[in-house]
Amino acid sequence: MASRNQGLSLAGAAAAIALGGCAPVDTRSSERFEKTGKLIALSGAGAGASNACFTCHGLKGTGDGAGSPRLAGLDAGYLQRQLEAYGDGRRRHTQMSWIARQLSASERKQVAAYYAAMPFSAQTASVDSTPRLYAQGDPSRGIASCASCHGKNGQGLGPANPPLGGQPAAYLEAQLEAWRHGKRRNDPGDVMLRISQLLTPSESAALAVYASNLPGDLLSPGSPEAFLEAHPDGPRSDASGPPLHVPESARATE
């Protein structure tokens, strides 16, 4: 009888151990992953895989060297404000406007923080001399110097004045063109709108090439929590991409 009781006791213990192994799985880690900016950047979230950020901006956030800018290392609050501007129409770009509207406010914040925390080192090219317009502007025409807002080395000065160093020259020139024609309207005080309309096309092209080749003097990015939150008026340059992957129904002639 004692032997039988011992057997039952051992069986009960084994059953308890087995049941303990079937405890509910902790899914919090996977839920946290689903909320990260990395997954949004790689999957496209509500915009779909064909519109995932990396398809234009690259896995390292460096852009495509042409019309899609680098996002790596830019201020998180600045990037978030750009997405908001695309979403509400202050910035016009068929693909980016559609994508931004598919992302929630939280998703915009998360993907902005993800790219802001990415390391970036600009590959600089030699330049013969600094253009006068970049270093000094042209007071006679009311043009402020690029360096006064974006830094002597194109490193950017504060969250509202992003780095220019390491951005594709074609992208920078395209942004000046967008400001010139009112397709960008999210600049405080219309500073860039005014400057872009005072520059000649050849001046814009030359400044874009020069700024693109600047070193940027970028510091190692800090934690996402250290970046400023988005505010309605703030930015002065942007993030966009030329390849149109959006559904035909979402495309519009501008």
Quick one: pLDDT at residue 74? Answer: 94
The structure tokens listed for 114 are 């993800």
Per-residue pLDDT of the chain (254 residues; tens, 9 = 90+): 555 555 545 445 444 434 444 445 454 554 554 458 999 999 999 999 999 999 999 999 999 888 899 999 999 999 999 999 999 999 999 999 999 999 999 999 999 999 999 998 877 666 678 999 999 999 999 999 999 999 999 999 988 899 999 999 999 999 999 999 999 988 888 899 999 999 999 999 999 999 999 988 654 444 343 344 444 444 344 444 444 444 444 444 33
Quick one: pLDDT at residue 31? Answer: 52
Quick one: pLDDT at residue 188? Answer: 80
DSSP tag of 61: S
As a whole number of angstroms, the distance between CA 105 and CA 229 comes to 11
Query: What is the tens place of the pLDDT at every residue in 47-91?
Result: 999 999 999 999 999 998 888 999 999 999 999 999 999 999 999
Helix (H, G, I), strand (E, B) or coil at 91: strand
Query: What is the tens place of the pLDDT at every residue in 228-241?
Result: 444 444 434 444 44
Contact 212, 165 (CB under 8 A): yes
- In one-letter notation, the amino acid at residue 49 is A
Roughly how many angstroms between the first and final C-alpha of the chain, as a whole number? Answer: 90
| Closest to 141 (Cα-Cα) out of 216, 195, 92 | 195
**What domains are defined for the chain?**
30-241 (1.10.760.10)
Quick one: pLDDT at residue 121? Answer: 80
